[in-house]
Structure 1
Amino acid sequence: MPLSSPAQRSPLHTRTLTMQGFARGDGLFDIEGHLVDTKPFDIPNVDRGGAIPAGDALHDMWVRLTIDKEMVVRDAEAVTEWAPFNYCQGGQTFRRLIGVGWAGWNAKVKEFLGGTQGCTHITEMLAQMATTAFQSLYNHRREEANREPGKKPVILDTCYALASDGPVVEQHWPQFYQLKQQG
């Protein structure tokens, strides 16, 4: 079901965010993010020749994280193709993520790249990249878990629908279903 019909309105900003996961030939995985911001009107801008024309990218940024099957970052690369200021680069700071695992990911990203240590837009993109990595490696991790009978699937208790006391778990993973304690 789509959203309800909106009130009369005019567009102000469009952010397009694309996330993709790839299996590499060397057994590692690449998770790539691409962010593009545009405006439907010209934006005055000294660094870009006086103005950024309507529809041109205000921001056009790429991130690639290379991870292993344990979801530990083995390489990190960020590129800013377009930004409102010539000084907006900082791609090398994202290499600080090498060696970081997904446990506590958002807190670690904030610690290593928050505030003036990194780019706000790329740092925000990294949170979505964690979800993309999880989705990309799900089948790989599920197959490994199937080799360990009785091990609780990693996807359980990650959202409302997959709560251990919910109907989805009761139907699909009855051995891990836990009736909620009334308290």
Structure 2
Amino acid sequence: MPLSTPVQRELLHTRHVTCNGYKRSDGLWDIEGELVDIKSFDLEVAERNNGLIPAGEPLHKMSLRMTIDYDLNIHDVEACMDYTPFRYCPQVADNFRRLIGHRIAPGFTRLTRELLGGTQGCTHLLEMLGVLATTAYQTTHHEREKREDFGAKGDNPPPMLNTCHAFDTKGPVVKQYWPQFHEDEN
């Protein structure tokens, strides 16, 4: 169901976040994200284009690539900041390599804030890490499903149970697909 019809309004800002997951020929995965912010009006910014970012030109255009393995261990990270409001911003890009050796797992958001929060990182790239983590799960899911028992057979519950509304162990999806793990609401 689409959103309701809004009142008359004027578009001022657009943010595009695109994430892609790739399986590499060496058995690893590349998870890439790009964030682009665009204003619909000319924006005065002292350090760009003689003090002006014309409408439609990116205020921000930033990319991240994480290389991960099957277990979601991070092998490499590359950050790129093609458009920023300040020339100083790209100096923080290499800090995102601090994620190398860590794993996408519960607590990942907290870890990223510890390693890259505040003046140690970039707010926009830090936000994008959460979407990249989800993209990593989605990208490797099919492979994981082929290799692991997701609970459709056997005694171990699928790992996605109770992670969202659809996978509520008291709900209809679990009742239909994994009845052995369904719980009555009483």
Q: Same fold, TM exceeding 0.5?
A: yes
Separation (CA, whole Å) in 2 of partners of 1:73 and 1:170 = 35
Q: Is the 1:142–1:153 Cα contact (8 Å) retained in structure 2? A: no
Match of 1:111 in 2: 114
Corresponding letter in the other structure for 1:179? D
Shift of 1:109: 0.5
Q: Is the 1:145–1:153 Cα contact (8 Å) retained in structure 2? A: no
Corresponding letter in the other structure for 1:43? L
Corresponding letter in the other structure for 1:170? K
Q: In the alignment, is residue 172 of structure 1 matched against residue 172 of structure 2?
A: no
Q: Is the 2:43–2:55 Cα contact (8 Å) retained in structure 1? A: yes
Q: After the TM superposition, which parts of structure 1 deviate over 6 Å for at least 4 consecutive aligned residues?
A: none
Match of 2:53 in 1: 52
Shift of 1:179: 2.6
Separation (CA, whole Å) in 2 of partners of 1:133 and 1:60 = 21
Separation (CA, whole Å) in 1 of partners of 2:179 and 2:150 = 18
Match of 1:27 in 2: 27
Q: What do the CA deviations read for 1:36-82 (whole angstroms, capped 9, x no partner)? A: 00000011122112100000000000000011111111111100000
Shift of 1:5: 0.4
SS of match in other structure, 2:148: helix
Over aligned residue pairs, what C-alpha RMSD do you find?
1.4
Corresponding letter in the other structure for 1:53? P
Q: Is the 1:15–1:37 Cα contact (8 Å) retained in structure 2? A: yes
Corresponding letter in the other structure for 1:106? T
Q: Which runs of 5+ in 1 are unaligned?
A: none
Separation (CA, whole Å) in 1 of partners of 2:7 and 2:66 = 40
Shift of 1:147: 8.7
Q: Which runs of 5+ in 2 are unaligned?
A: none
Separation (CA, whole Å) in 1 of partners of 2:83 and 2:4 = 35
Separation (CA, whole Å) in 1 of partners of 2:16 and 2:150 = 39
SS of match in other structure, 1:33: strand
Q: Structure 1 residues 107, 99: CA separation in 2 closer, same or farther (over 3 Å shift)?
A: same
